[in-house]
Amino acid sequence: VGCVLVDWLNIISTFVLQNDATSGSRFVEVGRLARFLRIVAILRLGRLGKVVEELSHRHFTEAARLTVQVFGMLIGTVWVGHIMACAWYSVGRDFSTDTGGRWVEIQSYINPDLSFEYWEMGIFYQYICALHFSMAQMTLGCADVFATNTVERIFNIAGLLLGLLFSTTLVSSISSWMVDLQMRRKDENDKMRKLRTYLRQHKVDSSIAHRVNRQCQARIAVKDA
């Protein structure tokens, strides 16, 4: 996550400075800072994940932990999409082409009177287009960017296979977490219903039964937290 944020900061700063003819030294400084922050983010990524997991198990309920897990999966999706977007941009700009075409040279038509090639636009727009393409690959969606040579088509095929695996894993993981949460809730409700039935059958005083129910609910809440 930190790496993605650092790269986004680098892209945005490049977009802001790219039209400034006197900003050459600042480009170098931003690049050095981005590389340093990326290294720091990579070194602290594992520790951050452990801290978040420990805090979630210590302070969050089951439902809150499920929300955190889903949010983490979405963040992971953005991270993978960012990596694919950077790779797709590199393929379109730096790799050899056997057809003479590259995706960055595709003519994009906004309307009959307005068209442009992707390489003519700023770095930020090119990155967003690449990110749109990579997210479409992972979610098996569609994008207006397409492959124009063999290398790009190979990358596209690999992206579709990765997207198929990633999307099915994402859906199955979320479904598994939700089913597990529902089973836990069902088990808790069954236990509370049996307790209330027991208290009612043995004609326990209502005030005592109420305190017993509250105590059991409190213990269940502590167990889930």
Domain presence at residue 219: no
Same domain, 45 and 81: no
CATH number at residue 144: 1.10.287
Bridge partners (DSSP) listed for residue 109: 115
Which residues are registered as beta bridge partners of 116? 108
* CA–CA distance, 214 with 123 (Å, rounded to integer): 59
pLDDT for the residue 150: 93
- In whole angstroms, how large is the CA radius of gyration of the chain? 26
Residues 71 and 106 in one domain: yes
Residue range(s) defining the domain that contains residue 165: 60-188
pLDDT for 192: 86
Identify the residue whose tokens are 């801290």.
51
Q: Sign of torsion, CA 94 99 100 103? A: negative
What angle do helix axes 62-94 and 24-59 make, rounded to 10 degrees?
150
Is 135 within the bounds of a domain? yes
* Helix 24-59 / helix 2-17 crossing angle, nearest 10 deg: 150
Query: Which positions ≥6 away from 185 have C-beta within 8 Å?
Result: 62
Residue 171: its pLDDT value, please? 84
123 part of a folded domain: yes
Closest CA to 159 of 130, 128, 127: 130
How far apart are the C-alpha atoms of 202 and 9, rounded to whole Å? Answer: 67
Place of tokens 């993605």: 4
Q: Are residues 74 and 173 in the same domain?
A: yes
Q: What integer pLDDT is reported at residue 28 of this predicted model? A: 47
What's the domain count of the chain? 2
Q: Do both 146 and 39 map to the same domain?
A: no
Residue 38, φ and ψ in degrees, nearest 5: -65, -40
In a domain, 162, yes or no: yes
Q: Are 126 and 89 in contact, with CB atoms under 8 Å apart?
A: yes
| Same domain, yes or no: 37 and 143 | no
Does residue 171 sit within a domain? yes
Residue segments in the chain with a per-residue pLDDT below the cut of 70: 1-60, 62, 222-225
3-state DSSP of the chain? CHHHHHHHHHHHHHHHHCCCCCCHHHHHHHHHHHHHHHHHHHHHHHHHHHHHHHHHHHHCCHHHHHHHHHHHHHHHHHHHHHHHHHHHHHHHHHCCCCCCCCHHHCEEEEECCEEEEHHHCCHHHHHHHHHHHHHHHHCCCCCCCCCCCHHHHHHHHHHHHHHHHHHHHHHHHHHHHHHHHHHHHHHHHHHHHHHHHHHHHCCCCHHHHHHHHHHHHHHHHHHHC
pLDDT of residue 183: 86
41 and 125 together in one domain: no
- So what's the pLDDT on residue 206? 85
Are 38 and 78 part of one and the same domain?
no
